[in-house]
Structures are given as structure tokens and as C-alpha cells.
Amino acid sequence: MDGPPRSGGTHVIGVGDPVPDLVLIDHDGAPWHVSEHRGRPVVLVLHRHLA
């Protein structure tokens, strides 16, 4: 199987790759890290927009 696609110089991750520990902001304004949830499966539903 081919590796994950790359676009515009941005590495796009695929199955088996570690998810980068990007900082997201939760609904209370607190930082949220994927790494803080190691040990449990995490499901992220990336929404399109707030409609």
C-alpha cells in the first residue's frame, strides 16, 4: 500500500501513525491534548462548521 498522501508540504498521517499532540481548546477554554488520553481509545469527530 502506498504511504499517506502529502499535500502542500504538510505531512498527512494515516492508519498506524501517531497522532500529533496538537493543542485543541475545549468548550471551557482549556487546552486539550490527545496525549492526555493515552490508555483509552479516542474518537474524534471533526465537524464541518457550527450549523
Partner 1 sequence: MAAVRDHHDRFADAHVAVVTFAGGVMPAAAYRRHLGLDEIDVPVLVDPDRAMYRALGASRGSLRRVWSPGTLAMYARLLRAGRRLQRSDEDTRQLGADVVIDRRGRVHRLWLPDGPDRRPPVSELVDAVAELGRG
Are 10 and 22 spatial neighbours (Cβ–Cβ below 8 Å)?
no
* Cβ closest to partner 1, residue 1 vs residue 25: 25
CA 20 from centre of chain: 6
CB 12 to partner 1: min, Å: 4
The interface with partner 1 within residues 13-42 (CB under 8 A) comprises: 13-22, 24-28, 32, 34-35, 37-42
Which residues, in sequence order, are CB contacts of 19 under 8 Å at separation 6+? 13, 34
- The footprint of partner 1 (CB under 8 A) covers 4-5, 7, 10-22, 24-28, 32, 34-35, 37-51
